[in-house]
Chain A
Amino acid sequence: MARSKRFELLAQREVNKDSFIHEWPEVGLVNMESPFDPKPSLVVEKGIVKEMDGKKRKDFDIIDYFIIHHCLDLKQAQKGMEMDSLRIARKVLDIDISRKGVIKIFSGLTPAKILEVVKHLDTVEMMMALRKMRARKTPANQAHVTNRRENPVLLAADAAEAALRGFAEEETTVAVPRSAAMNALAVLVGSQTGRGGVLTQCAVEEALNLKLGMLGLTTYSETLSVYGTESTFKDGDDTPWSKAFLASAYASRGTKIRFSSGTGSEVLMGNSEGRSMLYLEIRCLMCIKGAGSQGVQNGSISCIALPLSLPGGGRTVLAENLIATLLDLEVASGNDAMSSHSDMRKTAKLMTQFLPGTDFITSGYSSMPRRDNLFGGGNFDSEDYDDYLILQRDFLVNGGIVPVEEEDVIRIRKKAAKAIQALFKELGFPPITDEEIEVAVTVHWSQDMPERNRVEDLKASERILKENITGLDVARALSKLGYQDIAERILEIQKQRVAGDHLQTSAIFDADFHVLSAINDPNDYQGPGTGYRLAGEIRRRLTDIPQAKDPRQIATRFLTEEPEMLIEEIGEAVIGTDKNEVVIGLGPAFGTVLVETIIGLPHAEVLKEVLRGIEEERVTARLIKIYETSDCAFIGHKAAQLSGSGIALGIQSKGTTVIHQKDLSPLNNLELLSQASNLTIETYRAIGRNAARYVKGEPPFPVPTVIDNMARLKYIVKTTLMHMKETEQVDPNKSPQEVRVKFP
């Protein structure tokens, strides 16, 4: 078979490195539309559930029992289960029905019923629903902060930067479990240096995780995973009861928790029981609610490539996030693990959470380069910051990250690095050198950090656990060392753990430690004009990116003291009699108000080259200035009416040039070089020559131009501004003037 070059190129595209498979429902390789998913049912006799979703009581597994005992509201169930699923789906989107009203209905639905309802919604409807149903009104974001070498100085600096960039939560983890305490400490100090009130965690196994919380080195945890089938739950070495107990254990120590689940884990672990991935995720979410968790991170998380390999993957993952909110849970909506090789595909997927807004748009935005991400990658990383910020600006959406100035980032990184240096000294930990600090402030990734003694660092990390070094100790030490502001914030974190306000649904802190949660900042979206609107100070901050310039300050070089060209008007231009002339019509601002073309070619040089080209063909040139119009075609057309030969050149100040002929209609022409940004100084000479050749009736030479498809993109703002200046000089009552030009 002959190979199409286009197909060959398509085959090499990044998106084609992703895996794609057809559905195979029998083994659970299906997103949400499986013929093997149970039909909704609920039989209750004397307050005892006899059957749920087609399964008899004697066949209930641990998940069924847990859902019935702890999640399903039997008082609501009768009404909810009888209601038509399509009707419920419409209620979800009905702006006249409040979030609270929807949640009430869902509190009485079985997993299969919830699935049936959600299946009625398409992707855009799910986005609309998420907008209404997320718990907290103000969206936020979470950062991942790790590095391959587990360098504590770099961790502190990165944590400080992430905090400055506006992340409400920061999650770190370990390469080796022994470094957990030190990593938690570095991120605690760093984050509070960047901004007070950032919640932090260190993802490690539960016992150690709990201990870090008890010491006050972390404030939240999201390691509590659940699964949608009994055997997978057992493989995860837990039960809904053990996880629920653990949730209470964390709360009893003032640590915020959210559970973790997501489509794909069951089939990946070989135990899907032939159910669709979303059906199993609904069972997870109902266990999570039943366990008394305030929230969940889901959206497939680490298995993301699996739902995305099947039809409807993006919609299914969005459905997961939505169902979490329908169950009144806080949702940190994935977008953390690598989802595709293709930037286009990754971004499109992100938009489904980014545009409606969730409690945490990502459950871990890699605040450092992907290579330093110990969570196995990072779907979006420090190199994508500006893309993300500009997307926020484009759609006027708060995605939880704020623009920052480079100098502020450098300052805050240095402060965090110095604080951790002083703290290490105070605690008798392995010293941090000034050189390490210097590198950590500006470095891109950990490989470029000076080598540290890992063995000694690990020993220090173990000392934290052995000697029970607490958040309070850290605050005290930093205060003694003169880092009063950081000390105050770390103390405030400890204080908040006593009040427990952050244990409520969707809680985060602002920079002044005011808690913001579903209780005091509830999402009240009920259609246009309600809910979260980007306005005021935050709108100003999100749109004020450092790349944006003041358009009043962009223009071009203006006329200077020592002009490169003097243009002198010598009287009203008349129709020429010389059959051997080219009339050059100059734009109203040319060489006077504006002195160079859009790419900075001096008008004097442009004109010299054009004149040289005409002269080479032994044709004479006459210069006139047009005031009635700033439009290139009309400048050329007007000049042509005055030309003895009928041939003229029209040159706009930004450099656009046309060869015109008097009998042509204004918008027609002999030659148009419309992209001024692609015209070089040589081009102008060639244009001059061609104009002259038209006069002589000789065939023109092709004018060599550079092809740049991005030209319009790059120069559109400048074009607008230059044209604005040119148009300001237009005087409809001033006829064309003959001019004399001197090049001093």
Chain B
Amino acid sequence: MTTDVMHQVIWTRLISVVEEQAQALVRTAFSTSVREAGDLSAGVYDAEGRMLAQAVTGTPGHVNAMADAVAHFMREIGVGTMAEGDVYLTNDPWMGTGHLHDITVVTPSFLDGALVGFFACTAHVVDIGGRGFGADADSVYEEGLRLPIMRFAARGAVDRTLIALVRANVREPDQLVGDLHALATCNEIGHRRLVDTMREFGLADLASVSAFILGASRRATLARIAALPRETAVGEMTVDGFDRPITLRATVTVEADRIVTDFAGTSGVDAKGINCPMVYTKAYACYALKVAIAPDIPNNHASLEPFVVTAPEGTIVNAVHPAPVALRHIVGHFVPDVVFDAFDRIVPGVVPAEGAGCLCNFQLSVRPTTPEGRRAEVLTFNSGGSGARPEVDGLNATAFPSGVMTMPVEATEHAGPVVIWRKELREGSGGAGARRGGLGQHMEVGAREGHAFHISAMLDRRDHPARGRRGGGPGAATEIARSDGAAMRVKGRQAVPEGARVVMAFPGGGGYGDPAVRERAAVMRDVARGYVSAEEARATYGLSEAEAAAALAAARRGEDP
């Protein structure tokens, strides 16, 4: 077999191996965010710790974190002390993926006694002790148990002391220990496949494979960067934050062989746990640029390396120990929008308008008001609208940049005594434009009779809706209120008495381009489908009375006009 063809086959197989690793985790993990949201990652590395392939999962937030992780383990554990059967772990937010709830497990891979590579995987676990999952901690010490980089297993023997410590410090010890074993098993599956592959092709090490994969990826990435204008541009965006607004500022500079994104000028760390460690900021900044210029190039050490991300220490996007970071996703999910704002000034016509950004998640803590009831914690993931694209409308109620899935309402209602009274598209919420922003959604939730609850809201964009681009209008802002009329905040834990519901409307995406030039047929279709009211279509898009009437008549016939 020619060496090139062999390398092609092995590259294809390594990508399959990491996907398989990730699937194994999805099926065995206990955490809702892993199985429903794909909040996990898996990757394979060469003996120098350079990532060769990474599974494409639900969260871009792990992209760079995984690429960097193994190097931390090699340094902390010491390559010379690594042995067959060893398994290492950490949940350090600054060594792993940005908060204590993600556990990263690394396994060295040995072939005939020689260290040939590594496997790593990360998953969000159900609970890690401390205050529980929320923004309310004042420091990372309150957010749960922190496990430095250490051995989970040494030469095949699991560290019982570690297990005992973990068990004593978390709310769901059986599930967490189950997840630790699942992570270790997932690496083991990858290791066995790698060894089989190397034997099949008669390889003693991965050096030539690594050189082939990384060389091809680097050349392809650099070619994309070289095709860009060498310019610098600044993007800025302000969002609600916890108690005070947060301004994100990104300066993007295209150089000959790299793109530097710097966050100087961004707000400082917050008192609450929405701060973002550098590793997570880096992941989303890099995701934004990759999806804009190199979406087809798989993530590995070489394809990620030219994307350099920096931020001054102490900004909310480079929060350092001991800042609270549990909900780092809120700021992280907004990073692409601000990077896009800068990139659009360098290369127009590629990136979308601003979207809902962070997921519209909330957790319900239900407690009985009578002896028959039961307690439950119910976490849901929901999405607003995405920003309109230069040539395509935004996506309705679809996550971006996160890749999470929502849960079925019927499944949520089985998870605890809650009732979701409404979950449907929010008419008129997409920003106007030549391309319309994606619609947000309505949600209305309550508890079953005999129960009251607290809601921990993790929403944003009430005071800072998604801005349109190039003449497009803003998406609708977030709304939240109690059905009895009481006002509510977009973030934090808030009590809801028995019988009351929480009524929410999630934000729409921004529009793109001048609404006046939107195709008439698209406006009429939007009216017929009820995405846009006839009044708004006339006021914003200049639809004539006759056109509006024709659209509504088509709707009554059950047709698009």
Partners in one complex: no
